[in-house]
Amino acid sequence: LALMLALLAPTHAFATSHVLIVLNQDSQPKYFLNDPKQRGLCGDIYAELKSRLANKGITLSIQSTYTPIKRIMQKLKTGSAQAYCGAGRNAEREKKYYFSNVPLYSVSNVLIARSYKKTGPTSFEEMESSQSKMGTYFGTSTDRFLKNRGNINIVKSFYTLNKAFTALDQKKIDYFYYHDLALNYYLRNSTQKLRVLPTKFRTYNHWMIYSKSMHKHARDLMDKELTDMVQSGLIEQFHRKYRVK
């Protein structure tokens, strides 16, 4: 009897007290902290997951502060956090982390420029040939993707969007390259004279990304709920709330 109880104990402990730490990036409209009116796209996904997983013996611990993207990836790698919503996918990340079974939503990479620029490069080849001064968001999959092109004149990778747009306003860079979800939101809420250009350079998915140290059963439970949220159209409803056209 004692042996049977010992064998059952880990399962019981998991079912009643397993805690998963999930992280927030200072990237709007994916995340809003301390805002009573909105949580952000990924904030809404976290809140829905927290409610659903509570009935399955999992407590989702949503951190109350922003974490820089490079530190998010490091925390997932070391296992000091378990999941992060809104990650781009590439071969290097696939070696270090697990990704959700289904993508959560899609975004497109675009350029933001000073408002008097009505046109800009419309292809990666034009970016390369023009040698325009480009800015990127440090540590993101978008940053790595553009750097891997090799011949694009990336002047600086910025740690925050505010610093990037200040540099753009001050003509230290010609364009800033990032995804439209963030750039369109920023433009709508900014007094700076900037413009999002119409060319979509690539469209790709954002995923839930997991630490490889995360308990497989917990990951399977989260994935099951995420798949249902995608297939039911719930995440698309969240996406529409924050998408600016």
| pLDDT tens digit sequence for 21-40 | 999 999 999 999 989 899 99
End-to-end CA distance of the chain: 63
Does 132 score more than 90 pLDDT? yes
Q: Three-state SS for 151?
A: coil
Task: Work out the mean pLDDT of the chain and round it to a whole number.
Answer: 91
Q: Model confidence at 9, in pLDDT bands (50, 70, 90)? A: very low
Over residues 140-144, the mean pLDDT reads: 91
Q: Prior bond to 29 cis, omega within 30? A: yes
Is the pLDDT higher at 161 or at 80?
80
* Token pair in block for residue 113: 């420029």
Q: Three-state SS for 52?
A: helix
Task: Please give the DSSP secondary-structure letter assigned to residue 30.
Answer: T
Range of lowest pLDDT (91-100, 108-117, 183-192, 234-243) = 183-192
Determine the pLDDT at residue 243: 85
Query: Measured between alpha carbons, how far is 157 from 177 in angstroms, rounded to an integer?
Result: 10
Is the pLDDT higher at 119 or at 62?
62
Phi, psi of 111 (to 5 degrees): -110, 140
Does 16 score more than 60 pLDDT? no
Query: Measured between alpha carbons, how far is 204 from 178 in angstroms, rounded to an integer?
Result: 12
pTM equals: 0.85
Determine the pLDDT at residue 160: 87
Parallel/antiparallel/unpaired status of strands 175-179 and 105-114: antiparallel
- Map tokens 């433009």 to a residue: 187
Query: Measured between alpha carbons, how far is 32 from 39 in angstroms, rounded to an integer?
Result: 5
| pLDDT tens digit sequence for 174-212 | 999 999 999 999 888 888 899 999 999 999 999 999 999
Determine the pLDDT at residue 17: 60
